[in-house]
Structure 1
Amino acid sequence: MLDTIIIGAGPAGLAAASTLKGDRSVMVIDEYTQAGGRLLGQLYEEGRGKWWNGLEIAERMYKEIEDEVQVKLNTSVINIEKDTHFTIHTTDGIFTSNHLIVATGAREKSTPLPGWDLPGVMTVGAAQVLTNFQRVSPGEQGVIIGINPLSMVISLELGYADIPVKKICMPVANALNYQKPGDAFETLVSLGGLAPSRMIFYGSRTLEQLPKVQEFLLKAFPKRGIRAMGLPISIKEQVIRINGTDKVESVTVQKTNADGEPIEDTEKDISCDFVCLSDGLAPLSEICSLLNMKHVYIKSLGGYVPLHSRYMETEIDGLYVAGNITGIENAKIAIMQGRLAASQILGDTAAAEEYLKKINDERQNAKVRFHPDLVNGKEKLQSSWTDFSHSLN
């Protein structure tokens, strides 16, 4: 019998294990062959000369725990049962524990379109891991479909590896894709601190004071696109199909107006040999569903998230959640959430309060937010938790 089992060896899971090591018996389970989760592909500049190297951070975090924590990689969780303790069924055996931390992270979303099954089509996350972790170029020249914080940051990373991105534009409008040029423009504005074009740089500051000017700036956005953060971005062009016989050869784009409505006779082909799809991230919470846990749908958090308190506790006694399963945010917040959950298990109230404060500070000051309304989303989640807690009394 273990004290704590952690499902997920990403930033939240590794941080929780590091906090618990020495005081409690701990096992970390992950289906991938290497610990680190989404840290493995991350590489971006946080400030002048200061870099966030996810691979190095993951390796350092793993070294902190490898001698004191049982880590089972390449191991999938099949089922979870809860009685007086947790019973975790995996592909490498059955394990029991008094506490459970679910830190399974997030999954990528992608919008289907004609040609998306051709060799050379991948998610932006796959291109990130190929480039920064596997050290393999996804191709000679690519097109990114989808304008959101994830695709923009990864596009920058491709540039660091001298992999040309010929165009970043919108996906074709369909029943599964609700993004319009205005949404993409908000993304660019939210990334104003990452040294984009002058239009976006000054636009972000103007919008902070005069939000109603957004409609004017959106209409003034050039149909041919702009170069922002060194990248060719077009929020008024959508990819309507990916072309090729045995592999990707080109994409066909069509111009749109500011409302995302296609303009006739504006189609053109852009040659490329790889295409990255990006429709953002969604919490990966299927593990929690095995225990019939309550979930809440909050768009600004990425979709359905397990109902939980600000201290990472859930409706099931002894079960905690941490990281992107609680809502899509950056790796720094995931790390602190993992430490917060572990502090709760240890009964270290002072440490828990300190991590909670750090989380709130990072959330308010983060350069990149995956949704502009994230803070309100967190408040809605806590309101749902409060209502649930009151219903038990």
Structure 2
Amino acid sequence: MFDFSQLHPSLAQQLKTLGYHTSTPVQAEAIPAVLEGGDVMAGAQTGTGKTAAFALPLLHKLLTESVEQPSSPRVMVVVPTRELAQQVLDKIIAYAALTPLRCVALYGGVSIKPQVARLASGVDVIVGTPGRLLDHLYNKTFNPDQIQTLVMDEADRMLDMGFMPDIKKLLTRLPPQRQTLFFSATYPKQVMNLAYKLLSSPTHINIDAPNSAAHTVEQRVHPVDRRKKRELLSFLIGSRNLQQVLVFTKTRQSAEALVKELKLDGLVAEAIHGERTQAARNRALEGFKNGDVRVLVATDVAARGIDIPQLACVFNYELPHQLEDYVHRIGRTGRAGQNGLAISLVSLEEEGMLQAIETLLDSRISQEWISGYEPDLTAEVEHRQKRGGRGGDKRRLKKQLAKKAGFKRR
């Protein structure tokens, strides 16, 4: 356990005001390691306090070190999405409220001019997405030579989103002699390769096993006929009186279509995905946070940065393309030590993905069959035959489907 009173007095006082009394496991291990100045490679789920784990010691160092050029940024935090950039910035501003330190978020989808003006006034910490950070570097709106620490937050997501070329360009413009902090909830091979290139003799911090789900999240699967998914979703929201529900889909088309159907069911719903403007995304997210929007339907790209501490439940309306995204999705609930529930509505055609997710997690996810919504095996047989799938004896095919590991009653 790390004692926050060891930090700069301005930080320690503000943390008391914010109600930070006990460090989380990732904070207890990461803060001393960051303060020592070495590289850090940390594996921790979202909602475990990892932003404070790197922000607090870095703010402490900024406050206690002498500076020759106070107008140049000394810390750069790179994140995959605009929402996460704003979330991280908001937390850093809250921690540094009693200090003279200045911070700015740099991301696309909004005018670059206010960001340029903010940089010109002098900042200590910049938080940004790879593309917009490169825009500023190309335009020479800030000097990267004074960057002392680079933080890669949610590195796995950045690689999934195809940011590797931008990241490589970004790294060539930063001082080679720097501290690098690498945070990722999952560590597939590509992420490990990047970490090995960036880090020098890092301190390894593993709060959870790689690719594991947060222990505070109860996971549940409802096998469902694919044609009744939306009906079951509305039924569960209404019958359980769920007031703040985050729902994940695979594509923006699915998100928009689902929102239209939910509105017809009388639910106040909004979609958030990469094709919506930043202003529209901000309005939808703000409405969700203040309770005006009951159901927020999101794609994986847009969901990064959604930080609702008391979010009790998330739904996987469709299982994700990437296995690791399942871990990130359910990490939106059960945050900050709170209990959460993650419900996946899984049709027969998704059974292979469900089994792959269980293999990734090295555990079985409990199932609950709801009367009236069970998968229709006969309809599935006919569907597969019509699309040119396996033919032959319907009884045999139906029996084989029923025996699929992901859907036999447990």
In terms of fraction of residues, the more helix-rich structure is 2
Task: Settle same-fold status: TM greater than 0.5.
Answer: no
Structure with bigger gyration radius: 2
**TM-score range relative to shorter protein:** under 0.3
